[in-house]
Structure formats: structure tokens, C-alpha cells
Structure 1
Amino acid sequence: MSSTYGKIFKISTFGESHGRAVGVVIDGCPAGVKFDSEFIQNELDRRKPGQSRITTQRKEADSFEVLSGVFEDFTTGTPIALVIFNEDQRSKDYGHIADKFRPSHADFTYHVKYGVRDYRGGGRSSARETAARVAAGAVAKLVLKSLGVEIYSYVSQVGEMTLEKKYQDLDLNLIDSNAVRCPDAEMADKMFNYIDEVRKQGDSIGGIITGVLKNVPAGWGEPVFDRLHAELGKSMLSINAVKGFEYGSGFEGVKMRGSAHNDDFFIDENGVVKTKTNNSGGIQGGISNGEDIYFKVAFKPVATIMKDQDSVNEAGEKVTVSGKGRHDPCVLPRAVPIVDAMSALVLVDFMLRARTNK
């Protein structure tokens, strides 16, 4: 099993949904970085369950503890170990599916691959693991802070309900002003009500999160196999429930001619090379060009629903899987900080790799 990510700034996550704890070991973090515990906790609070009635009602404080790698509030350059103890597991909620494969979950594939699986909330395949990623991503953000890199993610679509405004026309500082994490108040209200209606019906719904990375210096990326957009795509597709990734003009770009799609260069008033348009999404040849990097991440509907579904058990017998327990009707609001975290982990690794090339 691959639980490690990164080349220089490496993270290894551990733990299961209903185990004692989840956590992460970070190796390669530079020494002397101010370790802002309050900031890291705030990032975890953005992901934790129980934030509103449109999220799972599992109650986890998601408070973290530092086991190593920090001394007098600064990183020491040695491995940083962070742990988040689970507090509100209800393993009994999963007893009824101990030998059943839940549709569109990892139950069947984990059983085939390993011959054993933790049926309590999916064990290692649970999105509970992403709490560790968010903690690591918060540390990555602290490293990037000195360069002025800004990372934003927001909910731009729920089902067929789409925010048509471009990110340039939005106040991204309003992302956390509502439970949906959509920076447009009117659309956020509509999305909230829609998700709540889906919840009442015992169903789930998917959508899209838009990511925007600002002030990324030109020159980050490692062609040919570790192109910046390829690594962003890989990191996003490693998140639970993600089904698609596109950056820049994405799939819509196929409708354009090259004369319209090409981003013409010019020199701005500060003597910096810029582009008149940004269909490239801030990345050319797999390397950042200094413009905003923007992308979309598509999330499927949450697989656990409060409806009966046909399935089979480990003995190959037909069974009915009944929904039970506490689950998100829509993963998007809590996935925003996860997209942020994975963006930060990709960028900080490329930042450190760029330094080794000079």
C-alpha cells in the first residue's frame, strides 16, 4: 500500500476511521519554519465533521498533538510527527455490513487485494484519513507563506447547480463565510438548501471544487513525467470520491482554435513577462509561468446513502445493503480544505525541488 507522497517534502499518513488515531509523519520540512499551531488547528477545523446539518454528525474535535520535529515553536528539520486521536467512533453502526460489499465503496476491491478488510467505516479507505493530509498541508502552507503563495479552493457546483462567475469576479476571502464554502452568498444559500433536501431524501449529491493558486513563481515543475499539472492531477485524484481533474481551459479548450487559445506574451510595467490571457492555467510545458494556476476537481456523490441497495457478500450470496450511521450527503464543503492541502503539498515539494536545480 502506498501511504507516502512527495519527493523532498514527504508525508506518510497512518491510521483508520475507527482505529485509535490517524496521523502523519512529515520528512523534509526545512528547519526554522515558524510552527503556527493555531493555524494548523484552524485548517483541521475546516475539515472536521459536525459543522452543519449538511455534514456528517460524527463529533470529532480533530485536535492534533505534536510528537516530534518541533522545538520552541520552530521546525527543527527532523521528521515531524502529528497525531489526531479518534473520539467518536460508532463501530456498531457497521456490524450489519461486516461481510457485505457496499456499492461503490472500496469494500470489494480491498477484500480482493488484501484478503482482509476493516469494515468499520472502510478502515484505511475512509475519508477520515484526509485529516492527516490537512494537517500536513497546513505545515506546507506555513513553508510557502514566506513566498507569498496563496491557495484558495471553493465549491463552484453542486449537482447541476453551477456558479457561473469566474474566480476573478469573486471575493475569495468569503469562502468560509457560509457552510457550503461557496464565495457567492446567493448561490451558497441555494446550494445549501439543495444539499439539505437531498439529505432528507436519504440520498447524496456530488459537484465540483475550483482551486486557485496565486503568486506561484515561474519555474516550478519537473518535466517530463513530473509536470506540475500532472502532479496536481495525481494529488487531487488521490482524494476520496474524486472522479475528474482539469486545469486551465480544460475540456472547453477543445472548442477553441489555436489563434484564440494561445496566451500571447508581453512585458508589464515592472519588466516582468506576463500573458494577455491564461488559457494555459498558469502552467506551460509542465512548468509554472507565474500566472494564476486554476483547476477544477469533480467529486462523485457520497457512496453511503440511506436507501436499500442490492449487493453480494463475501460468500457470493445476494444481499441487501441498508444505509445506516452518520454520513455526509455531499462531501464538497468538507473537501475544500483537503483540496487546499493537496495543492500546498504539491507546491512545497516543487519549491524545494526547484532549489536543487540551481
Structure 2
Amino acid sequence: MKRFFLLCSGVDLDLIQNCSNGEQNKYAGIGATVFFTALMATIASSYALYTVFNNMYTAVFFGIVWGLLIFNLDRYIVSTLRKKDSFLKEFAQAFPRLLLAVIIAVVISKPLELKIFEKEINQVLLTEKNQMTLDNKNQIAAQFTPEITKLQTEISDLKEEINLKEQETNQLYETYIAEAEGRKGTKLKGKGPVYKEKREKHDASLAQLSELKKNNQEKINAKESEIASLIQQQKDSETNSQPIIANYDGLMARINALDQLPWMPSLFIFLLFLAIETSPIFTKLISSKSEYDYKLENRTSKIRTWIQQQIDQREKIMDTDTHINTEIYNDLKSEEELYNYKQKMAQNLMKLQADSFFENQKRLL
């Protein structure tokens, strides 16, 4: 277990084995922090991805991948932080790593906040879903209500037309009855010529009323069927859109719901993970140079010196070889045998060029 945590801390295992037990325990503690931070990242990421994919195996797989990524980042941050002779230099070296640690702390803490405050978030989502349902009904109603209202007005107009015709017919009925009883008109009892004339007007109006009722009732039935169809379309639209509202339960929706809760608990959870994530870095910053740091610095210095020696040696070899080659070619400048040989070769080359030029000119002629 101790060796595993030392491996998590990113130390050189060969060097740390030769250090004191206390030094090994310090780096084992740092490695344990790195390991458990990655474990918490795996859990948090798995839950967050489960809310997205709604599949346990997919969420766990990608959660493990994310946890390994966080583990590698934390291990890199801790292992590359070197002790300097100046605290300011150490802080300047650690500052980018601290920023990265803050980002990692945010990424880890947010999904766990979603799980911890799951019940409160569900209540907020329920309220939002209810409001969305009401808003959705109002929006759908706004699409159908004008047409329904128009049809209902037309139906009312048709019924009003029938009522007016009935009132007119009833008035004619009252007129000819009063004529027959002698109460109005000629005031002569009996069914005389005036009575017959008024009776004919009533009968004609009654026939028109019957025809009007028949025609208007057909129109009313058609418009009522159209209203029923529009109402059914409105209900179907509400039913079809309801699953979308019911599925308003994704990662972004939960994060927005979390933002509506009191900020203090979320802040403390974030600070907790921030402290966990940055604790290895601050441990190295506030601690003085220890046995492992000196041994690592000694080994690094040896390698740096050896490499510098190799580079210097190669540069000297190259300078020496260049100087020797220069001397050799300078000596060759005064070599008479080489001069005569090159002169002979040049003469032969010029003869060949002259012969070739002559042959070409001869073919052209």
C-alpha cells in the first residue's frame, strides 16, 4: 500500500527507498491525496454522465476514464513541482498548477453537489416543470383560441338570427290572433279578409323560420364540429409536448436548479475539494528542502553536468577536425603533382568540348 501511494505521488522510487521513513511517509501521504482525489473525480463524473446518458455502464466507463485523467494531471502537478532557494520562485512555478487545481476542484465538486442536493433540486425542477406546463398550455391555447372564438361568435350570430325571426313570427301570430278576437286592427270579431291577410303573413314567416332553422342548424353543427376538432388538436398538442417537459431533467437543467438554491452549502463543498486538490502543492510550498529534494537535485545536477561535458567535448572535437581539414587543404594548394594532374584533365575536357562543338556545327551545315 505504501509503495502504491509513493507511486501515486510521482516520486522516483529508487531515490525514495534510500530516504528516511519519515520522508517516505510524507510522500506516501501526498500520493494518497492524489489517489483519493482521482477516486472522488471518478464517482462525481460517473454520476454527472449518468444524468446525461441514463446508462450505468456508459457512465461508469467514462467516469473511470475521467478519473484516470484527473489522476494523471494531479500526479504530474505534484511530481513536477521542484523546491527552489526562493519562495517567490517556488510560488511562480506553482501558480499555473494552482490554477489548474482550482479548475479540477470545480469540475469534481459540481457533480457531487448535484447528488448531495438531489432532493432539493428535484423540488425546484418540479416547480419549473409545473410552470412550464402552464406556460405551454397558454402558448398552445393562444394558437387555437382566436379561431375557436371566431367560430363561437359565428354560431351566436346564427342563433341570434333565428331568435329575431322567431320574435318576428310570434309578433305576426299575436297580430292575427288579436284581429280575430277584435282587440286590434279592425276590432271586428271573426275571420274576415284582414284576418286572412295577417294569417298568410304569419304562415309565410313561419315557413321562413322553419327553413332558417334548418339552414342555420346545419351551419351551427358544422362549426361546432370544427370547434371540437380544434379543441382535440389543442389537447393533442398539449399531450405531445408534455413528454418534452417531463424529460426536463438533464445535466444543464440540474445545474441551473442548483444555482437557485442557497449558495453557502455549495461554496463549502467547493472549498473542501479545493483544499483537497491544492493540499499536495501547498505542502510542498510550505515545507523546507528535505532529504529527497537534495538527492533529486544531486542526481539532476550530475546528469546536467555530464550532458554539458558531452556537448563541450563534441564541440571541441568538431573544432579540432575543422582546423585539421583546413590545414590539409591549404597544404594541397601548393602540391605540384596535383596541379599538373588537374591541368591535364582540364585540357582534355576543353578538347572534348571543342570536338563536340565542331561536330554539331558540321551537322547543321
TM-score for both structures, normalised by structure 2: 0.24
* Higher gyration radius (CA): 2
Q: Which has the higher helix share?
A: 2
Q: Which has the higher strand share?
A: 1
